[in-house]
Amino acid sequence: MSQEPIQEPNQDANQNATAAEPLRATNHLIAHARQQLGRVIAGQEKPIEEVLIAVLCQGHALLEGVPGIAKTLIVKALGRLLGLGFQRVQATPDLMPADILGTTILRAGSETFSFHAGPVFTDLLLVDEINRMPPRTQAALLECMEERQVTSDGVRRPLPAWFTVFATQNPVDFEGTYPLPEAQLDRFLLKIHLDYPTEQEELQILERHHGGSGAGLLEDAQITPISQDILAAARAEVRAIRVEPELYGYILSLARRTREWPTLLLGASPRGALSLMRVAQAAAAFDGRDYLVPDDVKRAVKPVLRHRIMLKPEAELEGFDADRVLADVIAAVPVPRQ
C-alpha cells in the first residue's frame, strides 16, 4: 500500500520558529531519512549520509564498491524516500547514446516525427556499472550532468529540476570496462566508497532477508516518502550555510595545494574547490549548524577530491592511493584560527 508523503508540519504556525531553528527542514529530512532507510539497509551510515548530501547539494554521485554491498539498493531506497521519479540503466558494452537519451521516431500512419524520451528524463537516474558503458555513451551523459538538458536534432530539451545521476562501479573487475575519463569524473560531486558491513550488520542482513521476501525487501519496508516541499526547503537551508572569508581561503589552499603536490600528476580543478565548499556546507547541516567550521571542510575533502586527482605511477607503485595523499594534504595546510 502506498503511503502519503510526510508533509512539513504546521508551516504557517511555525514561521516565527524558523528564525530560531534555521535548519528545521534539513533536520526533519535527515531524521526521517535515517529512520526510514535504516529499515532497509543495515549499516552503511556514512555512504547514506553522503548520498543525502549529494541530493541536498544538487550534485551527482559515483558509488564504488565490490558487488553485493547495497550500492543499488541505497539509490532505489532513496528514490522511494524522496518520492521522486526513478529510472535505472544497466550499462553494457553495446549500450548506445540513444538508449539513454532517447531518439526521434516516425509516428505510425503519418509523415511526422516525434521524440521518444529516454531514461535520463527522470528525477533520479541510476546508472549501474557505468564503467561498462562505451566511451561514446559515457560522453552522452556529460551534457546531461552539467547542463541538465539533452540536445537532440538541434532541439534543447530540459531535464527535470530534480535530475540527479547516481552511478555505480566495481573497483576490482576490469575485464570489458572503460575507465571514466577525467572530464566525466569531474562532473561527479562525490565519489562514495562502500565497504563490507560489520559482522553484526551482516547478521542483521541475514535476519531481515530470512523474515522477508528477499528481492521484495524494499517493498516490504513500505518507506514513507517525504514532501518535495521539505526537500526544496532543506536545499535552500544548505545553500544559506554561512561561510566566513577565512574559510574561503582554507578551501582554496587545500584545492591549490593538490596542484603542486609532488606525488600527483593532476590536482583539483576550480570546480573541485566549489564542490568542496558546497559539500562542507551540507556537512555542517548534518551537525546541526548553520555556519561552517574547518572540520566540515576536512570531512568533505576525501569524497569530493578523491576522483579529481591523479597519482603519479611511481607513487602508486609505492603504495599510495588518493585518500592517503589527501590526508597528507590536509595535514600540510594550516587551519585558519577562528
CATH of the domain at 183: 3.40.50.300
Asked if the structure places residue 198 within a domain, the reply is yes
Query: Are 209 and 65 part of one and the same domain?
Result: yes
Please indicate, yes or no, if residue 21 is contained in any of the structural domains.
Answer: no
User: Is 79 within a domain?
Assistant: yes
Boundary-marking domain end, from 222, 254, 277: 222
Residue 246 has pLDDT above 50, yes or no: yes
- For the chain, the residue count is 338
Q: What is the DSSP letter of 214?
A: G
Helices and strands in the chain: count of H runs, count of E runs? 15, 11
Residue in this structure with the C-alpha cell 558546497, named with its chain if needed: 278
183 and 256 housed in the same domain = no
Q: Which residues pair with 157 in a beta bridge?
A: 150
Span 175-184, pLDDT tens digits: 667 888 888 8
Q: Tell which phi-psi region holds residue 83, choosing left (phi > 0), alpha (psi between -120 and 50) or beta.
A: left
pLDDT tens-digit readout, 106-154: 777 777 878 888 999 999 999 999 988 898 898 888 888 988 999 887 8
Q: Are residues 288 and 180 in the same domain?
A: no
Q: What range does the domain containing 311 cover? A: 242-332
Q: Do 118 and 249 belong together in one domain?
A: no
- pLDDT, one tens digit per residue, over 281-330 is 999 999 999 999 999 999 999 999 999 999 999 998 888 999 999 999 99
Q: Are 127 and 87 in contact (CB under 8 A)?
A: no
Residue 24, in any domain of the structure: no
Q: pLDDT confidence of 7, banded at 50, 70, 90?
A: low
Residues 108, 198 within the same domain: yes
pLDDT at residue 5 in the model: 59
In a domain, 25, yes or no: no
Domain identity same for 64 and 138: yes
Each residue of 39-65: pLDDT tens digit?
888 888 899 999 999 999 999 999 998
Tell me, what CATH number does 317's domain have? 1.10.8.80
Kindly state whether residues 208 and 305 are assigned to the same domain.
no
Q: Which of 222, 256, 273 is the last residue of a domain?
A: 222
One domain for residues 173 and 275: no
Residue 100: predicted pLDDT: 93
Q: Are 311 and 322 in contact (CB under 8 A)?
A: yes
247 lies in the same domain as 207: no
Q: Is residue 34 part of a domain?
A: no
Q: Are residues 88 and 133 in the same domain?
A: yes
Look up cell 545521476; give the residue.
165
325 and 272 assigned to the same domain: yes
Q: How many domains does the chain have?
A: 2
The closest alpha carbon to 229, from 79, 76, 6, 74, belongs to 6
The model's pTM is: 0.86
Q: Of 222, 254, 280, which marks where a domain is finished?
A: 222
Q: How confident is the model at residue 68 (pLDDT cuts 50, 70, 90)?
A: confident
Do 274 and 308 belong to one domain?
Answer: yes
Residue 338, domain member (yes or no): no
Angle, in degrees to the nearest 10, between helices 270-286 and 228-239: 110
Residue 165 domain-assigned? yes
